[in-house]
Structure 1
């Protein structure tokens, strides 16, 4: 999240905070983006975690349209991951960039 923010014009500094006791990242200074939260899924499997996005945005739908099978999706709110599994890093960076610029006029 921090590396992508640093590489993205107009995002500004990232504020790391806790929401529901879980690490969350937002663009508090510029308000250019939508909050990103990283947390366990709460599923029976202890090795699952997710990158959550505000469900009232179109972000996860956009990710699925762009990247299809690169990720596992949880409805309109999250990308799901499993500890030890490969991650589509370039695609994930683009998802983070899209979230961090969600409120900019020309994303």
Structure 2
């Protein structure tokens, strides 16, 4: 289970290998993901691991959410979701086309917090929402 204090060693190494400015942005995003997971109804604890060498966050409860990854898109800090989901398409329907959206996969960090929070909530509850 991921908590603010318990950063898995392999994830800590991934953050340490990133440029300082990028790592700082992604560490803040990590804390935001953990905060949202701990306060959103039905999400529960997360597993924090690496996917494709990048920090990744998965819901522990089955059929709850989909994976979030933190990494780089075009050299900029980003949060990424599986491109097979409709998360970014749904976000575009809510927020319109924003410059921080990157295709079907990610959102460049540094834009509006509301967009980031929406993406994280949508990812962590993706399968629950599809069942409704």
Q: Same fold (TM over 0.5)?
A: yes
TM norm structure 1: 0.81
- Describe how 1:50-61 pairs up with structure 2 within 5 A: 50-61=78-89
Gapped regions of structure 2 (runs ≥ 5): 1-32
> What secondary structure sits across from 1:11 in the alignment?
coil
TM-score by length of 2: 0.67
Q: Deviations over 1:8-52 (max 9, x none)?
A: 1111101110011110001023430010001022x3xx4x12111
Say which structure is richer in strand. 1
Q: Deviation above 3 Å: which 4+ runs of structure 1?
A: none
> Which consecutive unaligned segments of at least 5 residues does structure 1 have?
none
Q: Which has the higher contact order (CA 8 A, sep 6+)?
A: 1
Aligned-pair CA distance for 1:69: 4.6
Pick the aligned partner of 1:36 from 68, 77, 83. 68
Q: Say whether 1:14 aligns with 2:42.
A: no
- Number of residue pairs matched by the alignment: 98
